[in-house]
């Protein structure tokens, strides 16, 4: 299974496993599910919060995962694990976090010009930061009286505003924003280049770029060019979840190999998902997922329904060229992954095991070119709103697969299609296919049958 044409990624979440010497026992299992990449979230030394994404020292291994203090410096255990991955035919991907550091990183005192500074309003009674202002703005005494508030010029923390309520602001006080408009930007880039050199020695094959849209396309082009000049096969996957459309557009020429898909949140009806997919597939193919380390677990949302667990994995495989799945999805884990607090004691007892199904889907995906590309996807209107009819095409439009899905998870639906050629319009035979490899030529093009809750059917047509 190591010859899949697109990245099928297993997220080996490090906090659930602890020391790296516990990780390699999962590699054969990952391979046997048909994955060709192993991805781990940041394993660097963290700041005071303990969040994997609050990095204090990029060149030191997190003690939670290192074998000992010597290993924290040498990263020998991770290099050994990567060597084992390669022996299995698995490539290894790591998270990179370049838009911020931990607020207690020594880089702040060593290179203060690398970091953004902003005016911040602090509530005196609680000590909480309540609002940041941009450089060309300053809060006034009239708006924030000194009896109640303190106004400071300081290192900026990243924050997010609730789009439904501008007064609700979440500030990540454990983080410090990096300033890529700094006059010393070249020295920032030199630091990241040294880190990439360090990762290259470890044998790392690819990088998931956390919050890629928070850093300019100009910066990414320089860094990706540097890495790919040394290793043309290095893969860069841009995490773009939560980006505005303008931020998506700004990344369009950054030369990322893959971008993140938002299909996990699609209701299989609203037009936004396909509009986004068909627009941005033109600059990079996407990677879908049924859940990730930031989302609620599917098994929790569905009270452990295996049929939904299976379909959501299949749909991720169908929708995007690549897919990624976190540790525990195959077992129906219900507890949300926590980048600050998860530990090996949170590794749950399996509620079920769909590993064989995942292997079947990954093998199925391998067979069809249009499932390993981001060609056009077309959604067709159907009189029954409980039914999804979706067609995915290869980029050269020589292959197309039709998905007919009962998206009602509780009720059966009768589906009547007078002529499948309405959707599959090549002048060649149409075949019904299933995940187990069965191909059956369709003689009659009329389709009339009942689909059970969450049941789906697949049809393929090729010009070749």
Average pLDDT of the residues of the chain: 93
Are residues 385 and 357 part of one domain? no
Q: Please list the alpha-helical segments (H only) found in 289-401.
A: 298-301, 306-319, 355-367
- Is 209 within a domain? yes
DSSP states along 3-16: T-SS-EEEE--GGG
Coil, helix or strand for 218?
helix
Total-model pTM: 0.94
**Within 13 Å and on the Cβ side, how many CA atoms surround 262?**
20
What letter would DSSP give residue 67? S
CA distance 96 to 201: 16
Give me 391's structure tokens. 């067609």
Q: What b-and-e string marks burial along 289-308, b requiring 16 or more CB atoms within 10 Å of the CB?
A: bbbbbebebbbeebeebbeb
- Proportion of the chain above pLDDT 70, given as a percent: 97
- Is 2 within a domain? no
Domain's final residue, options 116, 142, 177: 177
pLDDT over 60 (residue 330):
yes
Are residues 343 and 315 part of one domain? yes
CATH of the domain at 356: 3.20.20.80
pLDDT at site 241? 86
Are residues 141 and 43 part of one domain? no
pLDDT over 80 (residue 92):
yes
Instruction: Tell me the per-residue pLDDT of 195-210, one tens digit each, with 9 for 90 and over.
Output: 999 999 999 999 999 9
Mean pLDDT over 424-439 rounds to 92
Q: CA-CA distances (angstroms) from residue 280 to 283, 319, 320? A: 6, 14, 12
Coil, helix or strand for 30?
helix
Indicate the number of domains in the chain: 3
Single out the residue of 257, 352, 273 nearest to residue 308, CA to CA: 352
Give me 252's structure tokens. 């369009």
- Proportion of the chain above pLDDT 90, given as a percent: 83
Single out the residue of 147, 117, 145 nearest to residue 132, CA to CA: 117
Q: CA-CA distances (angstroms) from residue 377 to 206, 291, 393? A: 27, 22, 6
Per-residue confidence band for 2, with pLDDT thresholds at 50, 70 and 90 = very low
CA distance 254 to 280: 13
Among 94-108, 127-141, 241-255, 377-391, the minimum mean pLDDT is found in 127-141
Single out the residue of 371, 391, 370, 367 nearest to residue 379, CA to CA: 391
Domain's final residue, options 324, 353, 371: 371
Are residues 338 and 205 part of one domain? yes
Contact at 8 Å (CB) between 178 and 115?
yes
CA distance 125 to 455: 57
Mean pLDDT over 313-340 rounds to 98
Sheet holding 399-406, edge to edge: 377-380, 387-393, 399-406, 456-462, 430-433, 439-441
Are residues 194 and 279 part of one domain? yes
- Is 3 within a domain? no
CA distance 328 to 321: 22
CA distance 356 to 330: 9
Instruction: Tell me the per-residue pLDDT of 44-68, one tens digit each, with 9 for 90 and over.
Output: 999 999 999 999 999 999 999 999 9
Among 125-139, 262-276, 329-343, the minimum mean pLDDT is found in 125-139
Computed on alpha carbons and rounded to an integer, the radius of gyration of the chain in Å comes to 24
pLDDT at site 3? 40
Residue 327 CA from chain centroid, whole number: 13
Count helices and strands in the chain by DSSP H and E runs: 11, 25
- Is 385 within a domain? yes
Are residues 230 and 132 part of one domain? no
- Is 423 within a domain? yes
Are residues 206 and 245 part of one domain? yes
Are residues 241 and 116 part of one domain? no
Contact at 8 Å (CB) between 390 and 380?
yes
Phi, psi of 23 (to 5 degrees): -80, -35
Instruction: Tell me the per-residue pLDDT of 156-196, one tens digit each, with 9 for 90 and over.
Output: 888 765 555 555 667 788 999 999 999 999 999 999 999 99
Single out the residue of 326, 355, 358, 353 nearest to residue 342, CA to CA: 326
Domain's final residue, options 356, 371, 386: 371
Q: What domain range includes position 453? A: 377-462
Which residues sit opposite 449 in a β-bridge?
A: 415
Highest mean pLDDT among 17-26, 156-165, 439-448: 17-26
Mean pLDDT over 227-253 rounds to 91
Single out the residue of 135, 145, 248 nearest to residue 181, CA to CA: 135
Mean pLDDT over 348-352 rounds to 97
Is beta strand 439-441 parallel, antiparallel or unpaired with respect to 430-433? antiparallel
Instruction: Tell me the per-residue pLDDT of 105-162, one tens digit each, with 9 for 90 and over.
Output: 999 999 999 999 988 899 999 988 888 887 778 888 889 999 999 998 889 888 765 5
More confident residue, 129 or 335: 335
CATH of the domain at 430: 2.60.40.1180
Are residues 458 and 384 part of one domain? yes
- Is 166 within a domain? yes
DSSP states along 174-211: TEEEB-TTSTTHHHHHHHHHHHHHHHHHHT--EEEETT
Are residues 343 and 300 part of one domain? yes
pLDDT at site 136? 73
- Is 1 within a domain? no
Own/partner contacts of 272-277, CB < 8 Å, gap of 24 or more, are 274/377, 274/378, 274/379, 276/248, 277/319, 277/320, 277/374, 277/377
CA distance 346 to 17: 9
Are residues 85 and 138 part of one domain? no
Are residues 258 and 304 part of one domain? yes
pLDDT at site 53? 97
Contact at 8 Å (CB) between 358 and 378?
no
Is beta strand 100-102 parallel, antiparallel or unpaired with respect to 456-462? unpaired
- Is 165 within a domain? yes
């Amino acid at each position: 299974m190591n010859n899949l044409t697109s990245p099928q990624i297993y997220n080996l979440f490090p906090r659930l496993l602890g020391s790296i010497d516990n990780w390699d026992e999962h590699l054969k299992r990952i391979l046997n599910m048909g994955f060709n990449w192993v991805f781990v979230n940041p394993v660097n030394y963290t700041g005071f919060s303990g969040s994997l994404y609050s990095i204090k020292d990029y060149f030191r291994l997190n003690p939670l995962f290192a074998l000992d203090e010597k290993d924290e410096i040498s990263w020998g255990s991770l290099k050994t694990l990567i060597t084992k991955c390669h022996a299995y035919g698995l490539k290894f991907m790591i998270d990179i976090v370049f838009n911020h550091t931990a607020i207690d990183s020594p880089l702040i005192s060593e290179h203060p010009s690398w970091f953004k500074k902003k005016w911040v309003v602090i509530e005196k009674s609680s000590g909480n930061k309540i609002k940041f202002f941009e450089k060309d703005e300053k809060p006034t005494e009239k708006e924030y009286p000194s009896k109640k508030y303190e106004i400071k010029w300081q290192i900026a923390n990243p924050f997010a505003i609730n789009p439904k309520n501008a007064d609700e602001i979440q500030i990540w006080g454990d983080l410090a924003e990096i300033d890529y408009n700094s006059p010393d930007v070249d020295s920032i880039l030199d630091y990241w280049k040294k880190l990439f050199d360090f990762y290259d020695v470890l044998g790392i094959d690819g990088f998931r770029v956390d919050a890629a849209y928070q850093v300019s396309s100009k910066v990414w082009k320089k860094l990706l060019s540097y890495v790919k000049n040394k290793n043309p096969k290095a893969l860069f996957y841009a995490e773009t979840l939560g980006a505005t459309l303008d931020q998506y557009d700004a990344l369009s020429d950054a030369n990322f190999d893959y971008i993140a898909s938002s299909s996990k949140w699609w209701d299989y009806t609203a037009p936004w998902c396909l509009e986004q997919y068909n627009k941005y597939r033109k600059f990079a193919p996407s990677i879908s997922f049924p859940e990730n380390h930031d989302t609620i677990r599917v098994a929790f949302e569905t009270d452990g329904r295996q049929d939904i667990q299976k379909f959501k994995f299949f749909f991720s495989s169908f929708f995007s060229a690549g897919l990624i799945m976190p540790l525990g999805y195959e077992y129906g884990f219900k507890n949300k992954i926590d980048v600050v607090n998860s530990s090996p004691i949170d590794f749950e007892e399996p509620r079920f095991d769909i590993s064989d199904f995942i292997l079947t889907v990954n093998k199925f995906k391998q067979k069809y070119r249009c499932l390993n590309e981001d060609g056009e996807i077309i959604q067709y209107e159907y009189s029954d709103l409980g039914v999804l009819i979706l067609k995915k095409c290869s980029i050269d439009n020589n292959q197309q697969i039709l998905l007919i899905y009962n998206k009602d998870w509780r009720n059966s639906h009768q589906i009547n299609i007078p002529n499948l050629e309405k959707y599959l319009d090549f002048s060649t035979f149409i075949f019904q296919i299933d995940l187990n490899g069965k191909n059956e030529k369709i003689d009659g093009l009329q389709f009339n049958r009942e689909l059970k809750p969450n049941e789906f059917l697949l049809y393929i047509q090729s010009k070749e």
